[in-house]
Chain A
């Protein structure tokens, strides 16, 4: 089960260079859009772990996003915690939620699991709106801090109040999560995820504790979604329940499936296409979910493996044999 990093690692280098070099030349509008694209790509990577690689479709990633964001908001605004302690605490809380909801949810297969995650997402949305004393209700919270200034080796400090440093901050986490995902999937643990996605009963019958493995996968994905939530809260300074709405979780599924689930390039391609193109075409925001749904449906019928998957097929990857990634070593 070779998991090629798109083509080779070197294909990513030009992309990374572009990502670093272009934004300073772009206007503020473009940079803020890039920040959001980075954040939602992280969400796609989160879904990719539990769905793309472990085969369990979670519609609850938006809930972990919201939990991460609101935990960060409450810790910084109401408890006055510093940026980094709040960051780690919030990500931990998001991960813990994933672990706790995963235990009952992952006892179910297929559509039942999906519906439990959907339900969880709806409930989180309800709580965020209804528990006004804690969350500020529909008005949300404001005043989340940007990352603390970093002293530079050549004197002076790097502050994150402006867009560009914030962009590099989010880009840093995106790259970190990408590298982590790649190493995870190619590790023996990752092989377990993939085995489960291929045939869960067979995997269990080979002595692998599929339940624990699924819970691990789900928790990791919740942690990633939590990171995305904290980044969003820090960038946007204001958060409201709307961002944890279950439709956001479905948007992420659309991005991932269109981009190509179970690939490394899928999350990036899908988010870019489905977020950037409507922006450029000035699509009315209220129609976005519907359009995402329509595009997703079209892909499901005509190209279910997504852009990235379709690419691989084009390259003649319908092969009868290939070298095991292990055999050479």
Chain B
């Protein structure tokens, strides 16, 4: 029996899930737009962010917010290293080799995580992670509210950065027209490195934000990666706004499917939506047709 309260509860959960996907999908779209690299490892970077925060807080007793900032910086720095040692040296190779490299990166992180973190799940405990906020008949764990607020803050900051600063404008210009940007004298290398850092940084933030609200395990990144990617397809490839919109909607859909159909198969459901999108409306919601030569 469907109750309004239940429904709204799922919506609330879905919004917080959607926020995580928004962060991941934005990172995916940004990196793909500028570097033409589909960062398959985005989900695993998110997982590393979560574990990093976990160890900082649980093993070193760091303050949660400090850990959040530190994790973001660490992941961004990791992004810089990845760009410098892997993707920059490979900038002139045939496209498909870049894709395989992104996959190899996924394998390396996957293997390392399994080895170092082990397969048992871990509980990321933060002073207020047990605190549940209730308003009326609805309840939402405080952590999930933090996720929503955190995502809002980050996305607004990102928008300001892109629209109001020189570097941000350069980033956007390069994302839209790489060759044109090069002709204008924009240092594509620096911009690419920055884009990659932002991409991995976003994954790190997502990981630490959601960490206290879920169980940590080395495979926690695959599901969100697939949903984030489905969001990019569903929202329309080539459109950041589409990715954000798609991520938000799919977060809701996943939550509803999880509640009403089955939690185990919610990912399958979301993936199915992507397949249907491909079959019947390949452009997605806001997508533009792919430019062909």
Contact = CB atoms under 8 A, between A and B. Distances in A.
A107 B97 contact: no
Interface stretch (B176-184, B242-250, B270-278): B270-278
B100 A257 contact: yes
Contact of A116 (B115, B237, B278): B278
Interface in A300-314: 300-301, 304
A13 B38 CA distance: 42
Contacts of B90: 300-301
User: Interface on chain B toward A: helix, strand, loop, or mixed SS?
Assistant: helix
A59 interface: yes
B22 interface: no
A197 B114 CA distance: 35
Interface in A138-176: none
B292 interface: yes
A294 B105 CA distance: 8
B99 A293 contact: no
A263 to B, nearest CB: 16
B229 A115 contact: yes
B265 A126 contact: yes
B107 A250 contact: yes
B162 to A, nearest CB: 23
Contacts of B226: 115, 118-119, 122
B96 A118 contact: no
User: Which of A119, A120, A127, A247 gathers most chain B CB within 10 Å?
Assistant: A119
Contacts of A304: 93, 97
Interface residues of A, number: 46
A293 B105 contact: yes
Contacts of B278: 104-105, 107-108, 116
Contacts of A118: 40, 226
Interface in A191-227: 201
A91 to B, nearest CB: 24
A296 B100 contact: yes
A201 B292 contact: yes
A87 interface: no
B89 interface: yes
Interface of B: 32, 38, 40, 86, 89-90, 93, 95-97, 99-108, 110-112, 114-115, 222-223, 226, 229-230, 233, 237, 264-265, 267-268, 271, 274-275, 278-279, 282, 290, 292-293
What are the 7 A-B residue pairs with the smallest beta carbon separation, nearest first? A290-B111, A293-B107, A111-B38, A293-B108, A289-B111, A104-B278, A296-B104
Given A104-B275, A114-B38, A120-B271, 18 more contacts: A105-B278, A107-B278, A112-B237, A115-B229, A119-B226, A122-B226, A284-B115, A288-B111, A290-B107, A290-B112, A292-B107, A293-B110, A294-B104, A296-B104, A297-B86, A297-B105, A300-B90, A301-B86
Interface of A: 55, 57, 59, 103-105, 107-112, 114-116, 118-120, 122-123, 126-127, 130, 201, 246-247, 250-251, 253-254, 257, 284, 286-294, 296-297, 300-301, 304
17 contacts: A57-B100, A57-B103, A59-B103, A109-B290, A114-B103, A115-B40, A115-B226, A119-B230, A120-B271, A122-B271, A126-B267, A126-B268, A290-B108, A293-B108, A296-B104, A300-B104, A304-B93
